[in-house]
């Protein structure tokens, strides 16, 4: 699960069939992998909140959606998560890049990088971190995501660190 | 024509289509006009009725899907018009109840008396986009959009009319979700 191809294979094997988002360089490999697959439709969204809405509609109409976004989009989409997904119980798998991790990034990412996990926690949004090199941890995180989506029916966020899904872009 | 009259006319053109309603009075008033299983009353997430409707229409291209939006909601998510136009779902009907105000929060003016939203939709690439101002024009246009190919945009100019004493949606959010999902069978 620790490169774009294997992760996309896994998503499709688990019947995820609706992909949208706003790009992040840390997810560029994953987005191009999805876009290159015949039969997979990645829908470019203009804003993260609109992508949350798109996924909610797709879910209720019978799809299993994945939302790809940068953590900067968490601010834009927090009202969508709290006043749509979390009250109607509408799940979505969120693959969120963790810009600003450890305070080492461009200035605009530092604050969100710092508050990313507490913000998810305080919003009641379960999440787990995918680390380069930790296959077992990624597998456990993915199982937790599947369980949350299928049983609790709320969004689950996989926080993705640099070096996993940004093949070909540094 | 008032907003309530417009919703009453819209309701007569619906069977068991999935319908996504904007937040505030539009959801509340439509609930009072006719409570349908297929009505997704969006009580929060202002601006997202259009993206929810688009997601549903794309996931089930075989089902005619209707969005009942408001001018304030459309203005908040104007980028979603581009997403709809780009995705070109033939099965999607996008209605906008345009009272030129944020009626739900006390009739503060919106920008839709200056910005012609049907032209915005058309410029984005909706193959059908019209403005209607009378009950007869609305009935004729509803007939066209429900029978024809979309995505279509209908700007329905109305006078504010919603009655704040009329009740709120009584279903819980989870009930709304389950009822909406049930129309897909
Ligand atoms: C993000 C957000 N901002 C503000 C509000 C408050 N609010 C609720 S309904 C509404 C007005 C919606 O306007 P419009 O789509 O024109 O519908 P109308 O009220 O005129 O029927 C507003 C501003 C909100 N619910 N969410
Ligand atoms: Mg209005």
- pLDDT tens, residue by residue, A95-135: 999 999 999 999 999 999 999 999 999 999 999 999 999 99
Domain A4-160: assigned CATH number: 3.40.50.970
Q: Are residues A61 and B56, on separate chains, in Cβ contact within 8 Å?
A: yes
pTM, two decimals, is 0.98
Q: Beta strand B101-102 with B108-109: parallel, antiparallel or unpaired?
A: antiparallel
B55 touches chain A (CB under 8 A): yes
Place of tokens 């944020």: B102
Residue nearest to atom 11 of ligand 1 (CA): B102
CA distance A146 to A126: 12
CA distance A40 to A19: 8
Report the gap between the CA of A126 and the closest CA in chain B (Å).
19
A53, A79, A87 ranked by CB distance to B52: nearest: A53
- Asked if the model's pLDDT at residue A71 lies above 90, the reply is yes
pLDDT band, residue B163 (cuts 50/70/90): confident
Residue nearest to atom 8 of ligand 1 (CA): B24
pLDDT in tens, B78-136: 999 999 999 999 999 999 999 999 999 999 999 999 999 999 999 999 999 999 999 99
CA distance B109 to B101: 4
Number of structural domains (chain B) is 1
Nearest to B24 by CA among B134, B107, B80: B107
Work out the average pLDDT over B158-179.
Answer: 94
Q: Is A92 left (phi over 0), alpha (psi -120 to 50) or beta?
A: beta
Interface with A, mutate which of B18, B22, B55 (most A CBs under 10 A):
B55
- Asked if the model's pLDDT at residue B155 lies above 70, the reply is yes
Q: What is the CATH number of the domain that holds B69?
A: 3.40.50.970
Residue A52 · residue A81 · CB < 8 Å? yes
| Tokens representing residue B131 in the block | 């403005």
CA distance A77 to A92: 13
Residue B132 · residue B154 · CB < 8 Å? yes
Domain ranges, residue B165: 3-184
Work out the average pLDDT over B7-22.
Answer: 98
Interface with A, mutate which of B48, B69, B76 (most A CBs under 10 A):
B48
Residue A170: predicted pLDDT: 67
Residue B132 · residue B153 · CB < 8 Å? no
Residue A36 · residue A30 · CB < 8 Å? no
Q: Are residues A51 and B51, on separate chains, in Cβ contact within 8 Å?
A: yes
Predicted interface score ipTM higher than 0.90: yes
Return the residue of B nearest to A19 by Cα: B55
């Amino acid at each position: 699960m620790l490169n774009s191809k294997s992760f996309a294979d896994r998503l499709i094997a688990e019947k995820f069939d609706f992909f949208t988002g706003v790009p992040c360089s840390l997810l560029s490999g994953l987005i191009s992998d999805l876009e290159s697959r015949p039969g997979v439709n990645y829908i470019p969204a203009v804003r993260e909140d609109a992508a949350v809405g798109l996924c909610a509609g797709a879910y209720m109409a019978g799809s299993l959606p994945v939302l790809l976004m940068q953590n900067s989009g968490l601010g834009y989409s927090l009202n969508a998560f709290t006043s749509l997904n979390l009250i109607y119980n509408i799940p979505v798998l969120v693959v969120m890049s963790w810009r600003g991790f450890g305070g080492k990034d461009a200035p605009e990412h530092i604050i969100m990088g710092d508050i990313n996990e507490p913000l998810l926690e305080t919003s009641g949004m379960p999440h787990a971190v995918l680390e380069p090199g930790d296959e077992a941890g990624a597998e456990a995180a993915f199982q937790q995501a599947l369980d949350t989506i299928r049983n609790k029916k709320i969004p689950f966020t996989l926080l993705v660190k640099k070096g996993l899904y940004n093949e070909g872009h540094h | 024509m008032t907003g309530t009259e417009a919703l009453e006319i819209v309701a007569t053109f619906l069977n068991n289509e999935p319908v996504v309603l904007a937040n505030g009075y539009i959801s509340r008033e439509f609930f009072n006009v006719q409570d349908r299983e297929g009505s997704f009353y969006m009580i929060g997430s202002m601006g997202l009725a259009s993206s929810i409707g688009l997601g549903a229409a794309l996931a089930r291209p075989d089902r005619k899907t209707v969005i009942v939006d408001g001018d304030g909601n459309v203005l908040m998510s104007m980028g979603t018009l581009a997403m709809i136009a780009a995705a070109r779902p033939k099965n999607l009907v996008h209605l906008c109840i345009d009272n030129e105000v944020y009626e739900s929060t006390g009739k503060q003016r919106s920008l839709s008396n200056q910005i012609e939203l049907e032209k915005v939709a058309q410029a984005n690439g909706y193959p059908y986009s019209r403005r209607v101002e009378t009950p007869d024009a609305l009935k004729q246009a509803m007939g066209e959009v429900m029978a024809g190919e979309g995505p279509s945009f209908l700007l329905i100019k109305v006078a504010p009319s919603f009655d704040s004493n009329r009740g709120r949606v009584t279903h819980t959010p989870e009930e709304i979700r389950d009822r909406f999902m049930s129309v897909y069978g």
